[in-house]
Amino acid sequence: ELRRVLASWYTADAANSKSFGRIVDERHWDRIMALLKASGGEVLALGTPSRADRFIPPTLVRGPAPDSALMTEEIFGPLLPILRMDSLDAIVERINADEKPLALYIFGPEAAASEIIRRTSSGGVCVNDTIFQVANPDLPFGGVGGSGMGHYHGKFGFDEMSHVRGVMYRKTWVDPAIRYPPFNEANLRLFQKVMVGPLLPTGLKTALTGTAVAVAGAAALAIRS
C-alpha cells in the first residue's frame, strides 16, 4: 500500500518527478546510502540512487536490524524503516527501549494513540499526521534528553530564553541568636525541623488547623448575622 501511494505521488521512478527533491550534497548522499546499505533490511525503492544527480528515491526498508545505524541515528533522508509489531505493548516497549524521540507520529485510533502517549515520552506528538505539531505556534516544540532540552514557539520560546530571577526581601527586626554559633543540639533540632520538617508536631498542627477552621467559621456566621 505504501509503495502504491508513493508511486501515485512520484510515478514508478521518482527520478522523473518534478515534485521530488535531491540530497543537498554528495557527502550527505554518501551518509544516507551508508545507512541504507548497512540496515540489514529488505529495500523497496521507487527508482535507482544516483550520486551524480544526488538522487535517492523514496525507499522503504522492511525489517532493518534494530541495532543498525539506520535505527539508531538520525536519517535526514527519504528512507522509512518498517518494523512489524504484534501488539500495542510491543510498540510501547520498542519506543521506550531507545533515546526519547524528538517527535512521535502515531497513525491509528485515537484511543490507542492516547495509550501510547500516556506510556511514552517524546519531544512532541502528532496523531494521524506529521510535522503539523511543529507548525502550530500555540504548541511548544523541543526535545527530551537525547533529542534536546527545552522548547520554543511563541511565549514558550520567550520563557525558555528568559531567566526567572528569584528575589527575597527579609525584615531585619527579627534575627534570633539561635541562627548563629556556637551551635548545640537544640540548634540542630530546630534546623532539622525548619529544613526537613515537621516544624510542628502532627497533633499540634491538626489542633491548630481545627481551631483556625472553627474561628473562620464563627467569623463567617457573625458576618452573615
Winning range, highest mean pLDDT, from 125-129, 132-136, 149-153, 185-189: 125-129
CB 143, CB 103: distance < 8 Å: no
Counted residue by residue, the chain has a size of: 225
Q: Which residues pair with residue 146 across a beta bridge?
A: none
* Helix (H) or strand (E) segment spanning residue 62: strand 59-62
CB 31, CB 37: distance < 8 Å: no
User: Averaged over 16-40, what is the pLDDT?
Assistant: 96
Which of these, 31, 72, 66, lies nearest to 49 by C-alpha position? 31
* Predicted confidence (pLDDT) at residue 205 exceeds the cutoff of 80: no
**More confidently predicted of 207 and 103:** 103
C-alpha cell at 83: 518494523
Cα–Cα dist 37/90, whole Å: 27
Cis peptide preceding 81, ω within 30 of 0: no
Q: What is the pLDDT of residues 75-110, one digit of tens each?
A: 999 999 999 999 999 999 999 998 899 999 999 999
CB 55, CB 22: distance < 8 Å: yes
Cα–Cα dist 140/157, whole Å: 8
Q: Write down the pLDDT at residue 94.
A: 93
State the average pLDDT for the chain: 87
* Predicted confidence (pLDDT) at residue 21 exceeds the cutoff of 70: yes
CB 57, CB 45: distance < 8 Å: yes
**More confidently predicted of 52 and 184:** 52
User: Averaged over 156-175, what is the pLDDT?
Assistant: 89
* Predicted confidence (pLDDT) at residue 211 exceeds the cutoff of 70: no
Angle at 208 between CA 205 and CA 211, to 5 degrees: 150
Q: pTM for the complete prediction?
A: 0.69
Rg value, the chain, Cα: 30
Neighbours of 163 (CB within 10 A): 4
Q: Alpha carbon of 80 to those of 6, 43, 50, 75, 155: distances in Å?
A: 12, 10, 18, 9, 34
